[in-house]
Amino acid sequence: MLLRIEQRRIQEFAEKKGWKIVRWYEELEQSAKYEEIEERPVFAQLLNEAGKQFQIVLCYMNNRWSRNVVVAFTSLTRLLQSRVWWATADGLWDIDRVQQDGFDVAFAVDF
């Protein structure tokens, strides 16, 4: 379950952008450590519905998205292929920034 502060920050970020949250995908905190997307059923569902049910994904912080570099980059690639934009509510990361030269390393270190 998302902590209240995390959910509130995501909501505030969306409101500043003028976006409406249509769905929350909530995982158990320890699930972000798994090395396979399939081991995270809620995360897998989000990725499968991306581009069909929504066009934007907001995450509280980078380390809440994934604690595994391979899973992080694989999932962001899937979002790109689905033409879904991704960002963190702390404003530090978005899908465009991760793709910039040199930022992929910083993104990986930020886990």
DSSP 6-53: HHHHHHHHHHHHTPPP-------GGGGG-SSGGG-HHHHHHHHHBTTT
Going by pLDDT thresholds of 50, 70 and 90, the confidence category of residue 100 is: confident
Give the pLDDT confidence score for residue 34 in this predicted structure. 65
Q: What predicted TM-score, i.e. pTM, was given to this entire model?
A: 0.86
Mean pLDDT over all residues of the chain?
89
Which structure tokens are listed for 90? Answer: 């702390």
